[in-house]
């Protein structure tokens, strides 16, 4: 084995992404076709997947259009002029604060404590939790946007270090629109966005996807970009748009199926898609999203199938459809729902 082949034997996708020879080959030929990269794949078969992943990232970044300012030079100048009074006001406020500090040491100590507490809070952990029946949209420090469904949680450490990946920890259901940060066809470690959900880690650049983690089953539906799923039991899959990765945490089994974007994202529009669903599926929504305990007195009803879309403003909309579609009687008492035949 020659020394050049040995150089790459421990390379990962990010290493190939940063290698000048590999980058030039991709952008000049579109594929690592020359004899060297083929020989490398023959000697180290595991590197073939890493090279393909690095190529996917390169082409994804290359296809990104540079952001253009929507403001003209005149509009930017006007904006600067309007900010001058704000700046002067802040300077006056600072002057007042300095005088106050000279007036009393105790006031200075109190102000210093408040400022330190604020600074510390900006770099501590941040958690967002939605209640039953609540949906919320949040913006992260990098301008990524996440829509949280009911009974879901998202946490991260504020003040992400510039040399580390952006990491979040997630439970429940949410739709992610991750901000693309890589520039100049070069991938750095902090360009990665990592979502930890259950036993899995999802690594992305700029992309759009939905994650659902309920009852020991994780579903990851990708709509735009590319996404790598890694986890225990040697789980390592690269998803493409239109694919849904399903992972059973109890059985440690996984599969990839094709997804219907409209159906997966119906919850973000305030709808419940019940295409080819049975009563058991709807009950899981009532319990997971609204926090009710559901009792069905006739188990034969659980396999009753539904089709269509329910506009949902609250739980009463779902119960109305169940009652009039199945001709059943429904009792709601506190946080318990009882469904029984008429």
Provide the angle, in degrees to the nearest 10, between the axes of the packed helices 46-62 and 35-43: 140
Round to whole Å and give the CA distance between 128 and 155: 6
> What phi and psi, each to the nearest 5 degrees, are found at residue 32?
-70, 80
Contact 203, 194 (CB under 8 A): yes
Identify the band that residue 189 occupies on the pLDDT scale cut at 50, 70 and 90: low
Please measure the distance between the N-terminal and C-terminal CA atoms of the chain and give it in whole angstroms: 78
Mean pLDDT over the full length of the chain: 83
Round to whole Å and give the CA distance between 322 and 10: 57
Burial class for 302, CB neighbours closer than 10 Å (0-12, 13-18, 19+): middle
**pTM of model > 0.75:** no
Round to whole Å and give the CA distance between 318 and 337: 12
pLDDT tens across 243-252, in order? Answer: 999 999 988 8
Domains of the chain, start order = 3-62 (no CATH), 125-261 (2.60.120.1440), 270-341 (3.55.50.30)
Round to whole Å and give the CA distance between 286 and 177: 26
Of 52, 25, 20, 50, nearest in space to 36 by CA: 25
Identify the band that residue 196 occupies on the pLDDT scale cut at 50, 70 and 90: very high
Percentage, residues of the chain above pLDDT 90: 41
pLDDT at 172 over 90: yes
pLDDT tens across 22-58, in order? Answer: 888 887 765 545 678 888 888 888 888 888 888 888 8
Inter-CA distances, 332 with 64, 98, 150, 181, 290, Å: 52, 62, 20, 49, 13
What would the mean pLDDT of 57-80 be, rounded to a whole number? 65
Provide the angle, in degrees to the nearest 10, between the axes of the packed helices 105-122 and 73-103: 140
Burial class for 290, CB neighbours closer than 10 Å (0-12, 13-18, 19+): buried
The torsion region of residue 129 among left (phi > 0), alpha (psi -120 to 50) and beta comes to beta
Q: Give all strands (DSSP E) within 101-207, no chain letters.
A: 125-129, 136-139, 145-148, 153-157, 166-177, 193-197, 200-204
Q: What is the DSSP string of 248-264?
A: ETTTTEEEEEE--HHHH
Q: What DSSP element (H or E) covers 332? A: strand 328-333
Task: List CB contacts of 95: < 8 A, sequence separation 6 or more.
Answer: none
pLDDT at 187 over 70: no
Round to whole Å and give the CA distance between 192 and 181: 8
Please compute Rg for the chain using Cα positions.
27
What is the predicted pLDDT for the residue at 317? 92
């Amino acid at each position: 084995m020659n020394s050049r082949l040995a150089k790459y034997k421990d390379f990962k996708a990010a290493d190939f992404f940063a290698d000048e020879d590999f980058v030039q080959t991709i952008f000049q030929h579109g594929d690592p076709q020359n004899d060297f990269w083929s020989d490398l794949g023959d000697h180290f078969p595991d590197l073939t997947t890493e090279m393909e992943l690095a190529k996917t990232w390169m082409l994804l970044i290359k296809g990104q259009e540079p952001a253009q300012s929507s403001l003209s030079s005149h509009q930017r100048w006007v904006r600067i002029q309007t900010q001058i009074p704000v700046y002067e006001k802040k300077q006056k406020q600072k002057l007042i604060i300095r005088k106050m500090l000279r007036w009393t040491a105790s006031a200075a100590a109190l102000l210093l404590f408040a400022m330190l507490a604020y600074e510390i809070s900006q770099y501590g952990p941040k958690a967002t939790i939605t209640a039953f029946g609540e949906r919320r949209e949040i913006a992260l420090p990098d301008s990524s946007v996440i829509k949280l469904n009911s009974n879901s949680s998202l946490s991260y450490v504020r003040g992400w270090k510039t040399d580390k990946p952006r990491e979040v920890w997630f439970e429940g259901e949410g739709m992610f629109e991750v901000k693309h940060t890589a520039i100049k066809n070069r991938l750095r470690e902090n360009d990665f966005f990592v979502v930890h959900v259950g036993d899995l880690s999802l690594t992305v650049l700029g992309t759009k996807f939905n994650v659902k983690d309920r009852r020991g089953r994780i579903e990851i539906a990708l709509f735009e970009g590319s996404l790598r799923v890694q986890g225990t039991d040697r789980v390592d899959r690269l998803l493409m748009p239109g694919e849904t990765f399903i992972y059973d945490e109890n059985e440690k089994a996984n599969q990839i199926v094709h997804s219907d974007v409209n159906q997966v994202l119906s919850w973000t529009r305030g709808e419940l898609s019940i295409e080819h669903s049975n009563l058991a599926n709807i009950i899981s929504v009532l319990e997971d999203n609204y926090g009710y305990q559901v009792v069905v007195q006739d188990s034969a009803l659980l396999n009753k199938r539904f089709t269509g879309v329910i506009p949902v403003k609250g739980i009463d909309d779902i119960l109305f459809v169940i009652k009039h579609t199945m001709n059943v009687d429904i009792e709601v008492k506190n946080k318990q729902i009882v469904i029984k035949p008429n």
